[in-house]
A and B are shown apart, each in its own frame.
Chain A
Amino acid sequence: MWTLIQIELFKIFRRPRTYIAFAAITGLIGIIQFGLKLDGDSYVEFMMRDITSSITVEGKILNGYQVCYIVLQVLLVHVPLLIALVAADMISGEANMGTLRIMLTRPISRTKFLLAKFMATVAYTLLLLVWLAVLALFVNMLLFGTDDLFLLKSQYVVLLKKDDIFWRYVWAFGFAALAMTTVASLGFLFSLFAENSIGPIVATMSVIIFFTILSTLNIPVFNTIKPFLFTTHMIGWKEFFDIKVNDANEAIVGSIQNSQKIMNSALVLVIHIIGFVTASILIFRKKDILS
């Protein structure tokens, strides 16, 4: 199995397409960093325009942690497309090249073959998120320094102490990895049904867009299905930045306001991953290879 995963990773990282996602993330984060380095004060002024009269904030608001949060908010919506570029190509791309035939005439069970491909897709997803973390967190910490994190929520503000932030990012990236793995497993499932990768990529993104719209629409009739849509839970990483307060309305360092919600979201995502991968295996085992 390890040999199979190694072979799949070798194939993924020898394809130019793989590096599009890494280049795109580098470029996008670079632009955000450039803009904020150049005109960050204006951005902060704009962000704080409604509350400067009611509260006074001391210290450096635009620090590495703040920029990382901005980057994640902007980018994690688009990363699924970059994941789908590779995940939705895993089987369909092989069918398109004709290599699926030669692969499946080797003495490897189809289940092992598929699992190795999925594991390689997950490895790619994780590497992409590690790259995102390096650029969005570590590089921003170097470029902008570190300080407390000030977050404006819709009805309240959150102020996290400088020493109480890093671990939250580690968990947030971990959760984002789970969410992106769900996207990867969906793209992977769709890749079984096509002989070129365009269809599965479009199908994956269509499902994500459709479900995201359903998840965000405030129409009561959709409320019953929202908890079951994986898109509802993909933004669960933000929960790591909500903090508990005590009776005196003081923040409890090291706490998470709603850890149960995070657990529930993670569970829904894991169930989706298992469901998509199991369906992929069941379909692929019986599939006639006609490409």
Chain B
Amino acid sequence: MQAIVNVKGLTKQFKNLTAVQDLSFSVNEGDVYGFLGQNGAGKSTTIRMLATLISPTDGEIEIFGLKLEDHRNEILREVGAVIEKPDVYKYLSAYENLKLFARLSGVKITHEKLMKQLDQVGLASRAKDTVKTFSQGMKQRLGIAIALVHNPKLIILDEPTNGLDPQGIADIRNLILHLSRDLNKTLIVSSHLLSEIEQVATRVLIIDKGKKIIEGNAEELFDPAQTIVELQTFDNVYALEQLQISPWNTHLQKQRDTAILIKLDRQLISQLHRDLVDMDIQVLSLQPRHSLEDYFLQVTSGNQHVDTYSN
């Protein structure tokens, strides 16, 4: 699968605050890439850097194989984005907003096509109404229609379910799945709700305090049979060295300070325990985490930072 977004060492510093630090990830063509983190984790800052609203302090962004810094307009022609709230011109109608943004994107679009776009997001019957009469869910759907009006290859949706009622959330979820499955679009979708990402994402990145926690395929991360165990030993450096030269190397997730994280099938925990003893690693504790949600909450609410070893 071809990577269409490549982010390397991305950093953003606001005076004394490091919002994003040395963040690297890649998004493959056709992915629904779930970008997960608590509020203030650095998701929006990263997405704003991808959408050229914020300049990185350091690092590199490549989209469609081109450097974003050097080929901004060329890249943005193929990108549609809804950043945070889907704010549009409230004194204009849905139709006028869509037409205006189509023109801004350099697209000449017929009345029929505009109406079809509105129909796709369920707003055709409200096309002539001014946006100030719209509910939050309708504004969100209009925002997505605007992001799609120039038929982009990559769609970036920042917290698309924020402020929506359950029906609105379900509508957006179905729209994301439709865009991915039926129209073969690549999507980056950020959220602070793991449950939302879990239902749509094919790959997932979790960040906290601007740093990458984990990145991987959603199937593996959300697999209920898989778990992450937290290993604490008398000598973590020695333990890590031993694990790296063992078959467990591919399961390793590293924690910098107090523990080592290992991702594995639940049934292999007893085998791991036996191997640790064989490797003469003095175990203090070996605690399985019950789910990714548990893991997510644990790593994003504490002060710990981990990096992936593999993936």
- B-contacting residues of A (Cβ < 8 Å)? 3-4, 7, 10-11, 14-16, 97-99, 101-109, 286, 288-290
Contact with A along B47-90 (1 / 0, CB 8 A): 01001111100000000000000001111110101111111111
Contacts of A3 in B (CB 8 A): 103-104
Contacts of A99 in B (CB 8 A): 87-89
Are A108 and B54 closer than 8 Å at their CB atoms? no
Interface residue SS majority, chain A: helix
- B100 interface residue, CB < 8 Å from A? yes
Are A107 and B88 closer than 8 Å at their CB atoms? no
A102 vs B140: C-alpha distance when bound (angstroms)? 13
Q: How many residues of B contact A (CB 8 A)?
A: 34
- A-contacting residues of B (Cβ < 8 Å)? 14, 48, 51-55, 72-77, 79, 81-92, 100-101, 103-106, 143, 146
Are A107 and B100 closer than 8 Å at their CB atoms? no
A10 vs B88: C-alpha distance when bound (angstroms)? 15
Contacts of B104 in A (CB 8 A): 3-4, 7, 103, 106, 108
Nearest-Cβ distance from residue A106 to partner chain B, whole angstroms: 5
Nearest-Cβ distance from residue A97 to partner chain B, whole angstroms: 6
A290 and B76 in contact (CB under 8 A), knowing A105-B83, A107-B106? Answer: no
A290 vs B15: C-alpha distance when bound (angstroms)? 14
Q: Which of B86, B91, B146 contacts A14 (CB 8 A)?
A: B91
Q: In the complex, what residue of chain A is closest to B76 when comparing beta carbons?
A: A107
A108 and B73 in contact (CB under 8 A), knowing A7-B100, A99-B87, A101-B53? Answer: yes
A98 vs B81: C-alpha distance when bound (angstroms)? 13
Are A15 and B146 closer than 8 Å at their CB atoms? no
Nearest-Cβ distance from residue A230 to partner chain B, whole angstroms: 32
Are A102 and B83 closer than 8 Å at their CB atoms? yes
Q: Which of B52, B54, B74, B89 contacts A11 (CB 8 A)?
A: B89
Are B91 and A15 closer than 8 Å at their CB atoms? yes
A102 and B55 in contact (CB under 8 A), knowing A7-B103, A107-B77, A109-B72? Answer: no
8 shortest interchain CB distances as A-B pairs:
A98-B87, A289-B53, A107-B76, A107-B73, A107-B77, A105-B81, A288-B54, A106-B104
Contacts of B81 in A (CB 8 A): 102, 105
Are A109 and B73 closer than 8 Å at their CB atoms? yes
A289 and B91 in contact (CB under 8 A), knowing A102-B146, A108-B73? Answer: no
A-B contact pairs, 7 of them (CB 8 A): A14-B91, A97-B90, A102-B88, A107-B74, A107-B77, A108-B73, A288-B55
Are A288 and B53 closer than 8 Å at their CB atoms? yes
- Most-contacted residue by chain B among A4, A104, A106, A290 (CB, 10 A): A106
Contacts of A289 in B (CB 8 A): 48, 53-54
